[in-house]
Amino acid sequence: MSTTERQRTSARRTSLLGDQPGAFASARYVRITPMKARRVVDLVRGLPVADAAALLAFAPQAASETVGKVLASAVANAETTENLSTSDLVVSVAWVDEGPTMKRWRPRAQGRATRINKRTSHITIAVQPADVVAGAKKKGRSA
């Protein structure tokens, strides 16, 4: 489905995918540090969806479960809203932004207190057909 056929195009979709086919999903305010989530997201960026899902299913990191859910949501969005086939989808965009940090206090020796930062993350994943991603890479190299 092209952008002209779409009833409503969000600014977020336009910034992520432009007018190319594809879909995205995001999880906001996830209680995991962005640095730990980025380790997992870097593993799946650029992989086919089936390979990325298999990798996330067996990854030992705690963030892999949440990233797997976001990936599954992006694939479901591609199937339902864009009528794209799951078999040829590739993870084209994947990043983790820092969310708000909750500040807590822990008592320490001699009446002192130390601040504990409980960080949150915003995880975003976009999937696109493999031929669109390959065409964008070719265009990027030649330019």
In a domain, 72, yes or no: yes
In a domain, 4, yes or no: no
Domain count, the chain: 1
Tell me what pLDDT residue 57 has: 96
**CATH number for 58:** 3.90.470.10
In a domain, 47, yes or no: yes
User: What three-state secondary structure class fits 143?
Assistant: coil
In a domain, 3, yes or no: no
Tell me what pLDDT residue 5 has: 59
What range does the domain containing 97 cover? 11-142
User: How far apart (Å, rounded) are the C-alpha atoms in residues 61 and 37?
Assistant: 9
In a domain, 30, yes or no: yes
Could you list the pLDDT tens digit for every one of the 143 residues in the chain? 554 555 667 888 888 888 888 999 999 999 999 999 999 999 999 999 999 999 999 999 999 999 999 999 999 999 998 889 999 999 999 999 999 999 999 999 999 999 999 999 999 999 999 988 777 777 765 43
User: How far apart (Å, rounded) are the C-alpha atoms in residues 118 and 32?
Assistant: 8
